[in-house]
Amino acid sequence: MIHKDIPARDRLIFAMDVPSCDRAKALATELGDAVTFYKIGLELMMSGGYFDLLDWFLARDKKVFCDLKFFDIPATVGSAVRSLGDRGAAFVTVHGNRSMMEAAARNKGNTLKVLGVTVLTSLDRGDLDDLGFDCTVGDLVLSRAKQCLESGCDGVISSGLEVPRLREFVDEKLLVVAPGIRPVDNKPAGDQKRVVTVETAFRNGCDYVVVGRPIRDAENPRAAAEGIQARIAEQAGSR
C-alpha cells in the first residue's frame, strides 16, 4: 500500500553510488527533475567533497539521504548526528544497538530523520549464520524494527520482503525505506540477495524505494528514472 502523505515523486530515492562528486553532479544534472531525492553514502564520503555535494543538492531543492550507517559508542553517534542535523539532510542511517539508536534520536534536531538499519539486503540466512545470529532474517528484521521504534527512531531500512510482517507489529509508526529494488523479478541482483520490484515494495507497505544500478547503468538514466516514477505514480493512484 501507499502510506503517509508523501509526494509521489519523492518516494523514489536514487542511490548515487559513483566514485566522485564530479560524477555525481554530472549524473544528477542529467537526471534533472526525474529525481528529487538522492542517497549519498560511504563511497562518496571517502572521495572528498561530501558536504559540498550535500550543499550542491540542497541548493537545487533536492532532498538528501546521508547513508553513513553510524556505528560507534553512543556519545560519538549522538555527536555525529547532531552535527549532521544542522546540514539540511533529510535522512541518516544508524546501524547499531539500542543505545546507539537512542543517542541518534536524542540528537537529530527538528528536521533530520533517523533510520535504523534492520538487515542489509545483501545478507541472507547463510550470512546471518556466519555472523552468529541464531534466527531467521524475518525475525531479526522484526526485532530490530521494534528496537528502532522504542529508541525514538523515525524509520527503518528493510527489504520489501519483510515489510508485511513488520507492519503488523509497528503499524504506521515507522517510515520504511526499501533498498534492493529491481525493475523486474528476474533482473540480475548483483550483490543484493533479497530484492523486490517497485510494485511489490509498495504493495507490501514501503514508503520509499531506493534504486541505484537500474537507473545509473541504464542507457538513458533519465528515462529509466521516469519509468520508475510512472510505476510509483500508478501505485499511488490505485490507493
Contact of 14 with 38, CB cutoff 8 Å: yes
- Output the nine-digit C-alpha cell for 46: 571517502
Can 69 be counted among the known catalytic residues? yes
Q: Of 4, 63, 69, 108, which residue is the catalytic one?
A: 69
State the catalytic residues.
69
